A and B are shown apart, each in its own frame.
Chain A
Amino acid sequence: GAGVSQSPSNKVTEKGKDVELRCDPISGHTALYWYRQSLGQGLEFLIYFQGNSAPDKSGLPSDRFSAERTGGSVSTLTIQRTQQEDSAVYLCASSLVGIAYEQYFGPGTRLTVT
């Protein structure tokens, strides 16, 4: 079946602009995660959605970052007033609830802020 998809694959934006990154999880996966991976760095947890529960936003680095998940499926990560330090690959993952150790990752969106 189809895996996790993300769009766009690459995004170049000017400093100060807002961007939206999209994630389509695997059908039936009610848990969805966003991570940030800076060049050559590890995976930084951003936010976690589990079913209809309130999202875990503990990893969002500032109030310029927000995310929503509509209808328990597609998720959008929004970064307002982008800064150069926001340049990174943004990864989305999904899993079945209760099986967080088996996350399926999308290919990521490479964001470059000029």
Chain B
Amino acid sequence: QQQVKQSPQSLIVQKGGISIINCAYENTAFDYFPWYQQFPGKGPALLIAIRPDVSEKKEGRFTISFNKSAKQFSLHIMDSQPGDSATYFCAATEYFGNEKLTFGTGTRLTIIP
């Protein structure tokens, strides 16, 4: 019940295209959903996060879409650039509860020219 399932495992997108990564969770106590970006040789870094009281959050070219009834959320990267090539992790936690993040298994994104 603590899992966060992430897909796809790897993704190749042409420059300028839209990259979409999907996550699903089971624990209904989760109420905060951050995304982390990890470049090779570096630790993950917080990219964007959403609470379930909104269905969408946009920051620049990055958008999180959230479907509470389906217990799913996704990251969309618009106008994908080679510099976006990285591994992306979705995560979930209880905003006022358990002080831990449950991470998805990661998506390796490659943007090709």
Residues of A within 8 A of B (CB): 4, 31, 33, 40-43, 45, 48, 50, 56, 91, 93, 97-98, 100-108
Chain B residues contacting A91 (CB-CB under 8 Å) are 43-44
Give the docked Cα–Cα distance between A104 and B96 (Å). Answer: 19
Nearest CB of A to B29, in Å: 13
Give the docked Cα–Cα distance between A31 and B101 (Å). Answer: 12
By beta carbon, the residue of chain A nearest B102 is A45
> Would you call B46 and A102 a contact (CB within 8 A)?
yes
Nearest CB of B to A95, in Å: 8
Nearest CB of B to A104, in Å: 8
Give the docked Cα–Cα distance between A61 and B26 (Å). Answer: 23
Residues of B within 8 A of A (CB): 6, 32, 34, 41-46, 49, 89, 91, 93, 95-96, 98-106, 108
Cβ 8 A contact of A50, one of B34, B49, B99:
B99
Chain B residues contacting A4 (CB-CB under 8 Å) are 43
Nearest CB of B to A91, in Å: 5
**Can you name 26 A-B residue pairings with CB atoms under 8 Å?**
A4-B43, A40-B108, A41-B106, A42-B6, A42-B103, A43-B44, A43-B89, A43-B103, A43-B106, A45-B101, A45-B103, A48-B99, A56-B100, A93-B43, A100-B93, A100-B100, A100-B101, A101-B34, A101-B46, A101-B93, A101-B95, A101-B101, A102-B49, A104-B45, A104-B46, A105-B43
> Would you call B100 and A107 a contact (CB within 8 A)?
no
By beta carbon, the residue of chain B nearest A4 is B43
> Would you call B103 and A106 a contact (CB within 8 A)?
no
> Would you call A105 and B44 a contact (CB within 8 A)?
yes
Give the docked Cα–Cα distance between A56 and B45 (Å). Answer: 23
Cβ 8 A contact of A48, one of B42, B100, B104, B105:
B100
> Would you call A101 and B105 a contact (CB within 8 A)?
no
> Would you call A103 and B103 a contact (CB within 8 A)?
no
> Would you call B43 and A102 a contact (CB within 8 A)?
no
Q: 14 other contacts beyond A42-B6, A98-B96, A101-B91, with CB at 8 A cut-off?
A: A4-B43, A41-B106, A42-B105, A43-B44, A43-B89, A91-B43, A97-B99, A98-B99, A100-B98, A100-B99, A101-B95, A102-B34, A107-B41, A108-B43
